[in-house]
Amino acid sequence: MNFSSKLLENAVNEVSQLPGIGKRTALRLVLHLLKQPASQTHQLSSSLTNLVDEIKLCKKCHNISDVEICEICANPSRNEEIICVVEDVRDVMAIENTAQFKGLYHVLGGKISPIEGIGPHNLTIDSLIEKVNDGIVKEVIFALSSTIEGDTTNFYIFKQLEKYSIKTSTIARGIAVGDELEYADEITLGRSIINRIPFENSL
Amino acid sequence: MNFSSKLLENAVNEVSQLPGIGKRTALRLVLHLLKQPASQTHQLSSSLTNLVDEIKLCKKCHNISDVEICEICANPSRNEEIICVVEDVRDVMAIENTAQFKGLYHVLGGKISPIEGIGPHNLTIDSLIEKVNDGIVKEVIFALSSTIEGDTTNFYIFKQLEKYSIKTSTIARGIAVGDELEYADEITLGRSIINRIPFENSL
């Protein structure tokens, strides 16, 4: 691309470093900003720099938070005996939206992935083990995505937790509510038969 | 969405104001930035604020530029007798990439669009007429997109230029190089037959 302006070129180059945004999309976004009042761009920029400069991770669950102990961990009505292990803040948000979970979370910050160079020590697994070691936790629920990396991470943590007498569980895999059986993949459908539940539990 | 952090929420809200970026994509982008060194976000922010604060429009062609007269207008080897009328800087970049045009540009800054509240006086049409009135220009080439708004804008400018004894032309519409006839739309194919050119010109 031949840019008529160095300022424009710099902005497009920076924006196109974001994942999934190529040079053309970046140019479209930047030209959009140029058509808006400058205040919008100033707000956008300051919201991003404020975020990266001031964000904290909750000291207990490692979730993104504005304060040292996040709202969920600080809430006395949550059950601290049950810990749900998730990958990142999006999973916490998704589970919170269901309003079905009243325990606490533990945010790993990723999954074990040798290809991306992420080992167990890049995640917050040690802190989870410490938490379990304190003796309050009675159940750990694995809620990672069901990919090879997710399963590997689940298994690694499971092995670390074996010596403690706590319950470990994983969220149910099966046919999504509203989905047609014929379009389900074989592994999911197979698992949903093996892990069938008493009918009265589904009512 | 229930955000665990006000800083995160602000950043996601600002990013999701960009066209084509919803809340989920914005969250993904913002979380990506959080995983990168803070310096990347600082560079991104400052490149955007520098752009909106310091960008200029070329006084002659209204193209985006770092200086008062853009590189193309300031280039003495360009032919100032031919003006190519385009919508925005992306069109200038696209035509420059072809290396087929040695005249100057005139950037309108949009198209006449009553629905979006854009009239002739929101564009740089008056400045184009002034330029033609100075007597140097011999040909004006319309290179707007072939939509109703583009055609309306072409026609409006054409009417304004009628009283000057200059040539007006429009870029050729037809079957793209490499395209198959059977997939071309009827209007394009029809026009390509009506506006056929001597075979020797296509060699």
3-state SS record for A3-38: CCCHHHHHHHHHHCCCCCCCHHHHHHHHHHHHHCCH
pLDDT confidence of residue A87: 93
Pick the residue from chain B with its C-alpha nearest to A67. B5
Is a pLDDT exceeding 90 seen at residue A140?
A: yes
> Would you say B87 and B144 are in contact if contact means Cβ atoms under 8 Å apart?
yes
Supply the mean pLDDT for chain A.
Answer: 91
Percent of chain B with pLDDT over 90: 73
Q: Where in chain A do CATH 1.10.8.420 domains reside?
A: 6-54
Residue that the structure tokens 């100057």 belong to: B104
Q: Which residues of B touch A87 (CB under 8 A)?
A: none
In this prediction the ipTM stands at 0.82
- Per the model's pLDDT, the better-predicted residue between A2 and B172 turns out to be B172
What CATH code is assigned to B6-54?
Answer: 1.10.8.420
Inter-chain Cβ pairs, chain A and chain B, closer than 8 A: 167
What CATH code is assigned to A75-171?
Answer: 3.40.1360.10
For the purposes of burial, counting CB atoms within 10 Å of the CB of A170, is it exposed (0-12), middle (13-18) or buried (19 or more)? middle
| Residues sharing a CB contact under 8 Å with residue A82, sequence separation 6 or more, in sequence order | A101, A102, A103, A104, A137, A138, A139, A140, A141
Give me B21's structure tokens.
């970026």
Torsion of CA A73, A119, B24, A97, to 10 degrees: -30
pLDDT confidence of residue B53: 93
Of A1, A34, A64, the CB nearest to B52: A34
Q: For residue A43, which of B184, B128, B81, B12 has the smallest C-alpha distance?
A: B12
Q: Which residues of B touch A23 (CB under 8 A)?
A: none
Is a pLDDT exceeding 90 seen at residue B146?
A: no
Q: Where in chain B do CATH 3.40.1360.10 domains reside?
A: 73-171
Per-residue pLDDT, averaged over A30-45, amounts to: 94
> Would you say B89 and B71 are in contact if contact means Cβ atoms under 8 Å apart?
no
How far apart are the C-alpha atoms of B1 and B23, rounded to whole Å?
A: 9
Is a pLDDT exceeding 90 seen at residue B172?
A: no
The CA-atom distances, in angstroms, between A89 and each of A108, A143, B31, B32 are 10, 12, 9, 12
Report pLDDT digits (tens) over A42-97.
999 999 999 999 999 999 999 999 999 999 999 999 999 999 999 999 999 999 98
Q: Provide the H-helix boundaries in B62-185.
A: 71-74, 89-98, 125-133, 148-161
- Note the Cα B96 to chain centre separation in Å: 12
How far apart are the C-alpha atoms of A51 and B9, rounded to whole Å?
A: 9
Report pLDDT digits (tens) over A150-172.
999 999 999 999 999 999 999 98
Q: Which residues of A touch B43 (CB under 8 A)?
A: 14
pLDDT confidence of residue B27: 93
CB contact under 8 A, B51 and A10: yes
Question: Any bridge partners for residue A103, and if so which?
Answer: A79
Is a pLDDT exceeding 90 seen at residue B78?
A: yes
Per-residue pLDDT, averaged over B50-74, amounts to: 92
CB contact under 8 A, A52 and B33: yes
Q: Which range, of A23-37, A125-139, B131-145, B182-196, averages the lowest pLDDT?
A: B182-196
How far apart are the C-alpha atoms of A40 and B115, rounded to whole Å?
A: 24
Sorting pLDDT into bands at 50, 70 and 90, what band is A186?
confident
- Note the Cα B117 to chain centre separation in Å: 18
Give me B185's structure tokens.
């739309």
| Residues sharing a CB contact under 8 Å with residue B142, sequence separation 6 or more, in sequence order | B85, B154, B157, B158, B168, B169, B170, B171
Class of domain B73-171: alpha beta
Report pLDDT digits (tens) over B25-45.
999 999 999 989 999 999 999
How far apart are the C-alpha atoms of B198 and B203, rounded to whole Å?
A: 10
Supply the mean pLDDT for chain B.
Answer: 91
CB contact under 8 A, A34 and B27: no
> Would you say B22 and B1 are in contact if contact means Cβ atoms under 8 Å apart?
no
List, as ranges, residues 117-176 from B with C-beta within 8 Å of A: none
